[in-house]
Structure 1
């Protein structure tokens, strides 16, 4: 059998991508570090498990429903989320984790020749998805472990479609204050999509930490 020429078939931006090496399974890490429990905060896992109400719903879930596809557009879930946050259901997008939503955004708004802007020490999936889609990722160095808002604005050009901000930032733990974030959004002026990733917002107690949902209504 003739082997396919992968160097010809695989795009250069995929061939040149640095492979991701996942961490070892929990039992292996427990043996390595001599511990009984692991809390993977980097995966945004809840060490307490599902709340009692969710556990009760799972217990009452009829087994035959497990073989049936859910609503393709998360019809009821989007309405519940929208009602909780005072939004319209059309403003809510549900995905299989943040990675899928990030991919949706990049694929929906970016084409060949476009670019996204992110930081060098932040959630790496923004850059990975862009590069794997053939989109330039402009990676701006952090300044004192914080997003450098001025440098990010300086990197914007006519081909910039999406800007990713992690707030609070993973892994540095720094955050955009409401004043700084509002000034940044005003400077962008709606010419690009600004994604504010608040996956770890529960860990922030600062009084000047902004509520991203409220910014939608400003």
Structure 2
């Protein structure tokens, strides 16, 4: 059963405080371990959605375009991303999801590889002895933050199974998330979630029974939230 999108809650999650700004590309990774999902609570000092429980993720960095990887996304994921953007950007966003998850949780999604010395945001990940495995990620949703928020993102959501992690439990990460834990899906839905996180969590649950369902695209058009699928 499709979870309805709570437009009123979405506006309350991040009240309008500034003039409009262009959304920045971002990516999020939803990790599943059986009937459990990995969630992190944003530190209370954050400007954007403080103390809310979310999936790991963050904005696209320039180095994500050139980071090494292994594996290829499945054909359906690649085709759906190709409709929205050049393949190079779609690949970079998948890598964003992997990198941000590592930075925020310490979890390494990828295949074992000799440690490599690189500069920039990928340095710590590559020194961990892994290469991101793009075949582990499936594209499941897209959402654009409403206009006028302190932060705006054009976020793509990916899901991956925990079997693709090189070790099963999160570590402290960078501190952006002050608590990280695996929750049963039913329990996760009762956390203090942003509206978009709750909606995508419901989407992930529905995909367990219908993996071919088209990804939803959530955005605001002429002052009203719109959810479409393609």
Structure that is richer in helix per residue: 1
Which is greater in Rg? 1
Same fold (TM over 0.5): no
Calculate the TM-score normalised by the size of structure 1. Answer: 0.27
Higher relative contact order (CA 8 A, sep 6+): 2
* TM-score where L is the length of structure 2: 0.26
More strand by share: 2
